[in-house]
Amino acid sequence: MKQKHIHLIGICGTAMASLAGMLKQRGHRVTGSDAAAYPPMSDFLASLAIPVAQPFGERNLQPLPDLVIVGNAISRGNVELEYVLDQRLPIQSMAQILHDEFLAGRERLVVAGTHGKTTTSSLLAWLLAEGQRAPSFLIGGIAENSSLKATSTILLSSIKARSSCIIFPTD
């Protein structure tokens, strides 16, 4: 796998910060930006030595990244997104990079619903780990027993966002 410089616009969202950690664990150079960084995600990103630029701006994309991931909270009119589009930089959604980098070829367990996804997902991750399954997982929070390793099973807490349903194809 070729190491890439991947920049995440909106990196301080819970899912985006977790994705940043997973990408760094896979050996990519990860940078990001957000309007405001605050705990717990700012502390999490700092612990992984992932730089977070504030506020949004074209300068945050220098040097130019190989790939840009745009968070669901980012809309047209965002100065970084507009620069990425003007420069025709490679761009992917969080859902697409999750599929491409982490889901293909792995058993997937998805917890969905209106309430309790983070709690249920954390409990399920713990049960699987105790059962010697040691899953990787992406949960809408920082679990005490979190793992960013790419194992054969990945547990996802469904994201309440516009495009998240595309991360669950049955390839």
pLDDT of 148: 46
How far apart CA 104 and CA 120 sit, in angstroms, is 24
- Average of per-residue pLDDT across 27-48: 94
- Average of per-residue pLDDT across 37-47: 92
How far apart CA 118 and CA 6 sit, in angstroms, is 26
For residue 73, pLDDT over 80 is answered with yes
Radius of gyration of the chain (CA): 16
For residue 66, pLDDT over 70 is answered with yes
For residue 131, pLDDT over 50 is answered with yes
Mean pLDDT (the chain, rounded): 83
Q: Is 152 left (phi over 0), alpha (psi -120 to 50) or beta?
A: alpha
- Average of per-residue pLDDT across 17-34: 93
- Average of per-residue pLDDT across 73-90: 96
Q: How many residues belong to the chain?
A: 171
